[in-house]
């Protein structure tokens, strides 16, 4: 598998992103894996945003979510959480998340888009679920 599964080690400070940077650079720099570099950069960007914009945990990033009238359908939320949406990729990802605590980054984003944009359920519900279930939350 090409998945490193190091995110919890980075998240909880058992592995330093800075040390990883220098080790990867010594091993061949960007030639090692452009995707890996992007994921590390994406992770650090998220931490930078939370540090510089502490309201992000409580205020939506998307302006059109402010004042949005969200669907409060608890059954639809439960189906999403159980991976019973009818969208095979997202359902598989959500079931994997529940079973293992892992979910690929692109599947996380797809599941969040489905929750907010198609089911019209608040991003806050998705944040709470991901924080509850992800091993690297």
Domain identity same for 75 and 53: no
- The answer to whether the beta carbons of residues 131 and 101 sit under 8 Å apart is no
- Name the pLDDT band for 2 (thresholds 50, 70, 90): low
Share of the chain above pLDDT 70, in %: 95
Average pLDDT over residues 65-90: 96
CATH of the domain at 125: 1.10.579.10
User: H/E element holding 8?
Assistant: helix 7-11
- Name the pLDDT band for 79 (thresholds 50, 70, 90): very high
**Looking at residue 40, what DSSP letter applies?**
H
Domain identity same for 50 and 70: no
In terms of residue numbers, what domain contains 100? 63-133
Q: Is the dihedral of CA 54, 55, 56, 58 positive or negative?
A: positive
As for how many domains the chain has, the answer is: 2
Residues 6+ apart with CB under 8 A from 110: 89, 90, 93
Structure tokens belonging to residue 44: 């650090």
Domain identity same for 122 and 79: yes
Question: Has 36 been labeled as part of a binding site?
Answer: yes
Residue 32 lies inside a defined structural domain of this protein: yes
Q: Does the pLDDT of residue 29 top 80, yes or no?
A: no
Task: State pTM to two decimals.
Answer: 0.81
Specify the pLDDT at position 121: 98
Domain identity same for 41 and 92: no
Domain identity same for 67 and 129: yes
Count CB neighbours of 59 within 10 A: 10
Domain identity same for 38 and 97: no
């Amino acid at each position: 598998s090409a998945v490193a599964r190091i995110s919890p080690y980075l998240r909880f400070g058992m592995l330093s992103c800075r040390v990883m940077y220098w080790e990867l650079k010594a091993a061949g720099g960007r030639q090692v894996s452009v995707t890996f570099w992007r994921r590390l950069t994406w992770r650090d960007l998220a931490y930078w945003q939370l540090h510089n914009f502490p309201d992000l945990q409580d205020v939506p990033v998307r302006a059109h979510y402010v004042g949005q009238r969200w669907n409060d359908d608890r059954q639809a939320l439960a189906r999403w959480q159980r991976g019973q949406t009818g969208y095979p990729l997202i359902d598989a990802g959500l079931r994997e998340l529940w079973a293992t605590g892992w979910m690929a980054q692109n599947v996380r984003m797809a599941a969040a888009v489905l929750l907010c944009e198609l089911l019209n359920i608040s991003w806050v519900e998705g944040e709470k679920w991901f924080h509850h279930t992800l091993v690297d939350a």
